[in-house]
Structure 1
Amino acid sequence: MNRIALTGLALAVVMAAGGAGYWAGHRGLPVPGPREWRGGEGTRAAGAPAATGAVIYYQDPDGKPLYSAEPRQTEDGRAYRAVRASQDISFDEPATAQAAKANGERKLLYYRNPMGLPDTSLVPKKDSMGMDYLPIYAGGDDDGNSVKVSPSKLQRTGVRSEPAERRVLSRPVRASGTIQLDERRITVVATRSDAFIDHVENVTTGDQVRKGQPLLRFYSPEIAAASAQYLSSLGVQGARQRLENLNVPAEVIAEIERSRKVTTSIVWAAPRDGVVIERNVVDGMKAAPGDVLFRLADVSTVWALVDVTERDLPMIAVGQTVTVHARGFIGRSFTGQVAVIYPQVNRQTRTTRVRVELANPEGILRPDMYVDAEIATGSQAPAITVPMSAVIDSGTRQVVIIDKGEGRFEPRPVKLGQRNADFVEVRDGVAEGDQVVIAANFLIDAESNLKAALQGLTAAGNAK
């Protein structure tokens, strides 16, 4: 961008920020109107100081934001207005005004380019547009690291600051999945010998049963033979062991010992509390060894199997708190913890399955029910944080603006860590309690670039 374009851009920024009134107040000049600009260099308003200095650019005679480096005319034949050095707009005080403020105790360091370019000089000079280079003093407001903004400009731009604080950052990772039974809480009822079913209790699929509740009654020739052998040799460990190997309940063996009779009908009870999820037995049928007669499931604890994307997987850890929302129960949530992160990635969906254990005392979470999960990731240790709006991210570096008070601001590079929707952790560059700009910070950053306040630009200028 050439100098004329930069000056035009500066003019556009000032007009947008404060309008013509800001121009007049900042430069001490009258506000020109379209009728005052007529041909050539135009005519001055009554009482306005005469323009001095070289012509640095030409502007549309009606005051429109149209500029030219050379003389030109509008479409209707009117000449552009010549703008001289004394009429040009500047974000800084003139060099003479700054020098008037200096006293014998202030040491002049160097002069810098008035347009914020990385160009400095040890002696006074002008740029190609005739603008004076700006003096930089040791211990002054413009120390190369900070920029000072007038109170009126702060008020117009709406700059706001707030302190960096320690917070616990928790960024929820969202995933969807289904409810499944806890594999460790499923029990199968089966015999280890041939059995003839005499009677099945009034228990059907979906019924809730209690441990010890009768399920069926059957006759087994092999169990009857083992019972007779046991009675003929009471006290012999081998005979009792055979009954136990046939999975005869302890209470049945105790009844054989008490009654001294061979049992021909055995009552089989539920081995645990749970819900009947499968029934494969009816009266009069013959069951072979190992046949599943009943399948019971304890649903007081269930699993939520959710699929987490590869991008979010590094943030997931066992033990993290998970909030689960069942789509069938709007407005209600269930809390659990990450129990297992499965070791494989699905090739098609590029997701990894995560198991969440949930308490289900009411039994309302049912297998294959769809759920949405929010996994609370991040450390529980408080970290120094700033609002997301405080960070200016160029893609290669991140900067925050530190409010040093009295209109002085310092751009400061930072290293960022974890973040959530509102705040981001600052691992280096900001201390707890530092005031950071959270609104209109990009305008201050632009001002700091215009004033060459960043250390890198200052160092480059000194090297010259």
Structure 2
Amino acid sequence: MSRAVLIAAAAAAIAALAGGSGWYLKHQIRPQLSLTNPAYAETAAAPLYYRDPDGKPFYSLTPKQTADGRDYVAVPAGADISFDPERPEPAVTAQGPRKIKYYRNPMGLPDTSPVPKKDSMGMDYIPVYEGEDSDDSSVKLSPGKIQRTGVRSEPAAPRVIRTLVRAPGTIQLDERRISVISMRTESFVQKVADVTTGIFVKKGQSLMEIYSPAVASAAAEYITTMTSPTTGRVEQYGRGSRQRLKNLDVPDAVIAAIEQTRTVPLSVEWSAPRDGIVLERSAVEGMRAQTGEVLFRVADTSVVWALADVAERDLGLLSVGQPVGVRARSFPGREFVGKIAVIYPQINRDTRTARVRVELDNADLALLPDMYVDAEINVGRPDAVLAVPESAVLDTGTRQSVLVDKGEGRFEPREVKIGHRGDGFVEVRDGVADGEPVVIAANFLIDAESNLKAALKGLSTGGGQP
């Protein structure tokens, strides 16, 4: 191997290992590789080194392949190795200097110059070369800048977006499953069963024994009617006497016992009208119960309501019948599933929320009244839609856009129309095709570069550029 080839290999190794030390290769090693050197001229056709085919800052002194089997690109020894101050890796171009179109302000101000110039702070204007300023709205960045800023892209693809509306709420009793036991006439409590507040009772279970003069009088009249020898009298008055007992809310079992024994009961046994929890017990043995006074209140809690307060902005996404997942803070990791039964037609003026009623099965009675819960309502579509990560969307409030990665360091701003959001993704209804890569990281830096380019192009159109 000739001395010139060894020097070239050493130069490439220094550039690859030093990373940003391109100055050393340019100013110390390169003068030794002058084309006037006969040994160097002999090896001008031989590769100086090999670089990554995608333009990434990876180099090799020997032929190499990428992870997916593509060959590294050979850089001939006769190529011109120039160094961009904004690029830590060498950029190999064809022989001959690049043509400068104009110079732009180093601070990003919309000011250009056809000749080299300094700003008010003594900083040199930055040259803009041909090919770096395209006629379209795209932006081109060097591989070094892409690597330093952490630009990453991901293709748009169909995804099922799970959009959740979350709302806090409380557990309440089903109004249709509450029974109240009260007297419809003045009565006296003779005995109270061993039943207290919070106890679960079965339908038909004895709660108390009541003596009522009105009930006794109605029972005596009914027995008299039944024992009358006149059949017509029984048909005429018997039905009314029995209905009087019903109107006094005498239990059916007591009326059946009166019809069978033909005797007036000294006391009437009152039983639970349904399975449920005793919410209230006001009955005390020996007390006098006034008409309408509540003695027991029993609630069936096998089905309960979750009343959730949904933000006003989310109401348009809800409808009756939608499935809802409810999580109680008392049971972490467990989910209760129900459906929206009612969306109350009123907005709370203070909280700007609307109340939504969700019916839940509570067979094991785990959910208790006034218990705090969190409701999650899935309002997303069940089918897949074209979506991109939320970080890819640049939202100005009036318009949304993404940066499409066109390859070779070129990025194109593209206005899009978005839809549902969820799970870190956002639906794209227009503006991006399936499979197009969009920038998902450091896109705001590229957007700033695009805005600067637009400002410079507008200035140059007005005559600032030759």
Which TM-score applies when normalising by structure 2?
Answer: 0.65
Shift of 1:295: 0.3
**CA separation of 1:308 and 1:30: change in aligned 2, threshold 3 A:** farther
Find the counterpart in structure 2 of residue 78 from structure 1. Answer: none
The alignment-based identity, stated in percent, is: 52
1:191-222 deviations in Å (ceiling 9; x for gaps): 32222323222211111101111212223222
1:60-92 deviations in Å (ceiling 9; x for gaps): xxxxxxxxxxxxxxxxxxxxxxxxxx9996899
Find the counterpart in structure 2 of residue 34 from structure 1. Answer: none
Find the counterpart in structure 2 of residue 9 from structure 1. Answer: none
Shift of 1:150: 5.0
The amino acid of 1:235's aligned partner reads: E
Shift of 1:392: 2.3
Are the aligned partners of 1:29 and 1:48 in contact in 2 as well (CA < 8 Å)? no
Pair 1:373 & 2:365 matched: no
Pair 1:240 & 2:253 matched: no
In structure 1, the residue corresponding to 2:168 is in which secondary structure?
Answer: strand
Are the aligned partners of 1:303 and 1:355 in contact in 2 as well (CA < 8 Å)? yes
Alignment of 1:302-451 (within 5 A): 302-369=304-371, 371-381=372-382, 382-420=384-422, 422-449=424-451
Alignment of 1:252-267 (within 5 A): 252-267=254-269
Find the counterpart in structure 1 of residue 193 from structure 2. Answer: 201
Provide the C-alpha distance between the structure 2 equivalents of 1:398 and 1:357, rounded to a whole number of angstroms: 39
Pair 1:290 & 2:275 matched: no
**CA separation of 1:210 and 1:133: change in aligned 2, threshold 3 A:** closer
In structure 1, the residue corresponding to 2:253 is in which secondary structure?
Answer: helix
The amino acid of 2:433's aligned partner reads: A
Provide the C-alpha distance between the structure 2 equivalents of 1:87 and 1:266, rounded to a whole number of angstroms: 105
Find the counterpart in structure 2 of residue 190 from structure 1. Answer: 182
Provide the C-alpha distance between the structure 1 equivalents of 2:461 and 2:379, rounded to a whole number of angstroms: 44
Unmatched tracts of structure 2, length 5 or more:
1-15, 35-81, 119-124, 226-232
Provide the C-alpha distance between the structure 2 equivalents of 1:23 and 1:114, rounded to a whole number of angstroms: 26
Are the aligned partners of 2:171 and 2:373 in contact in 1 as well (CA < 8 Å)? no
The amino acid of 1:356's aligned partner reads: V
**CA separation of 1:230 and 1:98: change in aligned 2, threshold 3 A:** farther
Shift of 1:317: 4.3
Find the counterpart in structure 2 of residue 36 from structure 1. Answer: none
Provide the C-alpha distance between the structure 1 equivalents of 2:282 and 2:311, rounded to a whole number of angstroms: 40
Find the counterpart in structure 1 of residue 73 from structure 2. Answer: none
In structure 2, the residue corresponding to 1:262 is in which secondary structure?
Answer: coil
Which TM-score applies when normalising by structure 1?
Answer: 0.65
> Which stretch shifts more, 421-430 or 289-298?
421-430
| Cα RMSD (Å) | 4.4
Pair 1:162 & 2:154 matched: yes
**CA separation of 1:296 and 1:145: change in aligned 2, threshold 3 A:** same
Find the counterpart in structure 1 of residue 215 from structure 2. Answer: 223
Shift of 1:383: 3.0
Shift of 1:339: 3.2
The amino acid of 1:225's aligned partner reads: S
Are the aligned partners of 1:197 and 1:284 in contact in 2 as well (CA < 8 Å)? yes
The amino acid of 2:271's aligned partner reads: A
Provide the C-alpha distance between the structure 1 equivalents of 2:294 and 2:83, rounded to a whole number of angstroms: 98
**CA separation of 1:361 and 1:200: change in aligned 2, threshold 3 A:** same
In structure 1, the residue corresponding to 2:195 is in which secondary structure?
Answer: coil
Provide the C-alpha distance between the structure 2 equivalents of 1:327 and 1:421, rounded to a whole number of angstroms: 23
1:3-34 deviations in Å (ceiling 9; x for gaps): xxxxxxxxxxxxxxx9x966958xx9549xxx
**CA separation of 1:113 and 1:184: change in aligned 2, threshold 3 A:** farther
Are the aligned partners of 1:118 and 1:461 in contact in 2 as well (CA < 8 Å)? no
Find the counterpart in structure 2 of residue 10 from structure 1. Answer: none
Provide the C-alpha distance between the structure 2 equivalents of 1:90 and 1:405, rounded to a whole number of angstroms: 19
In structure 2, the residue corresponding to 1:293 is in which secondary structure?
Answer: strand
Shift of 1:126: 5.9
Shift of 1:279: 0.9
Alignment of 1:268-283 (within 5 A): 268-283=270-285
Alignment of 1:128-143 (within 5 A): 142=134
**CA separation of 1:393 and 1:97: change in aligned 2, threshold 3 A:** farther
Are the aligned partners of 1:112 and 1:135 in contact in 2 as well (CA < 8 Å)? no
The amino acid of 2:414's aligned partner reads: R
**CA separation of 1:119 and 1:153: change in aligned 2, threshold 3 A:** closer
**CA separation of 1:335 and 1:88: change in aligned 2, threshold 3 A:** closer
Provide the C-alpha distance between the structure 2 equivalents of 1:435 and 1:132, rounded to a whole number of angstroms: 30
In structure 1, the residue corresponding to 2:235 is in which secondary structure?
Answer: coil
Unmatched tracts of structure 1, length 5 or more:
1-17, 32-44, 50-85, 101-110
Provide the C-alpha distance between the structure 2 equivalents of 1:167 and 1:199, rounded to a whole number of angstroms: 67
Provide the C-alpha distance between the structure 1 equivalents of 2:128 and 2:409, rounded to a whole number of angstroms: 23
Shift of 1:385: 1.7
Are the aligned partners of 2:304 and 2:359 in contact in 1 as well (CA < 8 Å)? yes
Provide the C-alpha distance between the structure 2 equivalents of 1:460 and 1:384, rounded to a whole number of angstroms: 38
Provide the C-alpha distance between the structure 1 equivalents of 2:176 and 2:160, rounded to a whole number of angstroms: 35
Provide the C-alpha distance between the structure 2 equivalents of 1:21 and 1:201, rounded to a whole number of angstroms: 90
> What number of residue pairs does the alignment pair up?
378
